[in-house]
Structure 1
Amino acid sequence: MDRLHRVAASLLVYSGLLLCAAPLPALAGALEHGTTAPADAAPGFSVVTLNLHHDRDDWPRRRVQIVETLRRLQPDAIALQEVLQHESLPNQATWLARELGYQSHFVTTDPPSHKRRYGIALLTRTEMLEDGETMLHPLEDHRTAGFARVMVGDQPLNLYFTHLYWAPDGAATRSQQLADLLAYVDATAGDAPSLIAGDFNADATAPELDALHAGWEDAWGALHPDADVAASSTLNPAYFSVPARVDHVFAQRGRLRPVEAELLFAEPDADGTWASDHRGLLVRFSLATDAEPAAEPETP
């Protein structure tokens, strides 16, 4: 009987070890997506930027794919452009935030009394400690930039989001709007690190974005320096014949280190419905210190 008891006890211990080991793949996945990290690792943060294409092309069908993808990825923040609401359409950002369990900050030049309101928004998984907004010149273009501050571990992080003028010949207007945005960053950022996300309607290397190059790093460009234009395009080729990378996430140099960048919604759903006329961009960062080396670019 003693030998049988010893065998049974050994089996129980072995079973317990198997049960303890079972969650390790899930833990590995959590580490990969930045939701859990070793105690001595730099805290991570993930952000998605996506132009929603307002309510065109069957929004009720498109939003299903958007919600499913964002729910799976669980980014820490989501910057949205072309956000719309009207009499028969609840605010798209508010709706998405409710479906995902996020907070929402909607920015527009349309008065609250208007039934139709159009603008940009930021969604965050955690509480926004502070938020704000500013208008961009020329005022007749009705462009804005928004801001929110969140905590990443014990570190505050500033999130800025915008959508610049669209026309191909509008470089001077975009340059002016960017100058307004950077002035707003200077006035509100304090000592916290910052990132800027949105649809800039220009390539990251375009002359009108020169003011960003000294203090800000283009996350996709840093991680995929040799990717060709078609592979990097954030314009959906099902809608646009000429590829272009116009949706960006810029990180403050020396404060945020991009570690991963990927395009989202690059394929339609099973029914052939595209999520948007733009691809989304997901970027993951670590909160860097001045002593940390710059991120090594990936081989595409």
Structure 2
Amino acid sequence: MRVVTLNVWNRDGVWPERREVLAEGLRRLDPDLVALQESVVVDGYDQVADLLGTEYTIIHQDGRTPDGVGASIASRWPVTGLRERDLSVTSRVDPIWIGGVAVAEIEAPEPVGPLLLVHHKPSYQYGFEHERELQAVASARFVEELVRPRHRHVVLAGDFDAEPHSASVRFWTGRQSLDGSSVCYRDAWESAHPDERGYTFDPRNPLVNTGEMTMELGRRIDYIMVRGGVHKPTLAIDRCDLLFAEPVGEVWASDHFGLVADLTVP
């Protein structure tokens, strides 16, 4: 099973050139499950369908800006259910905001079988780790309410806007509890590249240091994770690589690098 997550940066920058790079790159990857952030849906235009084509079931999540920017899920396999929850956990969370959590029930073929794809998008502001902690706990509890015995696996993906050492990500990876709760998900990048930074928001990409984002030092803030069983994650992480981490010609696909992970049943 191949999973991709990517912040596509809506249609900012030189979109026609970026679109060509994104569409061709995604076509070659041929993912099974896709979590996209900052995707655009407006009357007459669906950015996800434009990039992925017609072979996917596409779900556009709630919580979109007035100009149609939000988060989306795409699945090669049937989606038999979707549950969403708002993550406005404090008064500081912008009411016009693309964040939230969506849990899609996916009917994957054997040997994978039915699974849950969780798309988590918390607050982005530097100083909002308190909110991200509350949002991580709210999302994790929401997932636990929805997990059933038939759901053999839970895959978590998204732009978390938090580095691996932050409390919210440490919570997801089982390194600390928050608000009396604990879970444990295996970080795909860390599993495949334990000694590499793996920045997904990297100033060597010239699209990063634009507008309000100048002076960015580089961070790993995008993740694919697998929920743990009693002793280990339920899926083996065979591969996790950066996606669109180099320009094609002089075109950078997005201001974020994405991730692609290949997961298998042990």
- The TM-score bracket by the shorter chain reads 0.7 to 0.9
Q: How far apart, CA to CA, are the structure 1 residues paired with 2:190 and 2:167?
A: 16
Q: How far apart, CA to CA, are the structure 2 residues paired with 1:78 and 1:128?
A: 13
Moved more, 275-284 or 212-221: 212-221
Q: How far apart, CA to CA, are the structure 1 residues paired with 2:186 and 2:38?
A: 25
Q: Deviations over 1:206-243 (max 9, x none)?
A: 1122321221111101111111x3xx110142224411
Partner residue in 2 for 1:93: 48
Q: How far apart, CA to CA, are the structure 2 residues paired with 1:221 and 1:190?
A: 27
Q: Which amino acid aligns with 1:204?
A: P
1:278 correspondence with 2:247: no
Alpha-carbon contact 1:49-1:249 (below 8 Å) kept? yes
Alpha-carbon contact 2:102-2:118 (below 8 Å) kept? yes
Alpha-carbon contact 2:201-2:257 (below 8 Å) kept? yes
TM-score for both structures, normalised by structure 1: 0.73
Which residue of 264, 269, 278 maps to 2:248?
Answer: 269
Alpha-carbon contact 2:105-2:114 (below 8 Å) kept? yes
Unaligned stretches of 5+ residues in structure 1: 1-44, 289-300
Q: Which amino acid aligns with 1:243?
A: G
**Aligned positions of 1:8-23 closer than 5 A:** none
Q: How far apart, CA to CA, are the structure 1 residues paired with 2:104 and 2:234?
A: 17
Q: How far apart, CA to CA, are the structure 2 residues paired with 1:277 and 1:181?
A: 26
Q: Deviations over 1:101-156 (max 9, x none)?
A: 2110110224xxx9632210111112112222211123743321112122131511
Moved more, 189-198 or 203-212: 203-212
Partner residue in 1 for 2:170: 210
Q: How far apart, CA to CA, are the structure 2 residues paired with 1:108 and 1:92?
A: 16
Deviation at 1:57, TM superposition (A): 0.5
Q: Which amino acid aligns with 1:153?
A: E
Partner residue in 1 for 2:180: none
Alpha-carbon contact 1:121-1:146 (below 8 Å) kept? no
Partner residue in 1 for 2:265: 287
1:153 correspondence with 2:110: yes
Structure 2 CA distance for partners of 1:61 and 1:138, relative to 1, 3 Å: same
Structure 2 CA distance for partners of 1:152 and 1:268, relative to 1, 3 Å: same
Deviation at 1:100, TM superposition (A): 5.4
Q: How far apart, CA to CA, are the structure 2 residues paired with 1:47 and 1:198?
A: 11
Q: How far apart, CA to CA, are the structure 2 residues paired with 1:225 and 1:206?
A: 17
Larger Rg: 1
Q: Which amino acid aligns with 1:157?
A: L
Q: How far apart, CA to CA, are the structure 2 residues paired with 1:266 and 1:197?
A: 18
Structure 2 CA distance for partners of 1:100 and 1:94, relative to 1, 3 Å: closer
Q: How far apart, CA to CA, are the structure 2 residues paired with 1:179 and 1:233?
A: 24
1:235 correspondence with 2:201: yes
Q: Which has the higher contact order (CA 8 A, sep 6+)?
A: 2
Alpha-carbon contact 2:40-2:69 (below 8 Å) kept? yes
TM-score for both structures, normalised by structure 2: 0.82
- Which structure shows the higher helix fraction? 1
1:198 correspondence with 2:153: no
Unaligned stretches of 5+ residues in structure 2: 175-183, 210-215
1:222 correspondence with 2:191: yes
1:176 correspondence with 2:146: no
Q: Deviations over 1:181-221 (max 9, x none)?
A: 11210121212110110000111231122321221111101
Q: Which amino acid aligns with 1:152?
A: P
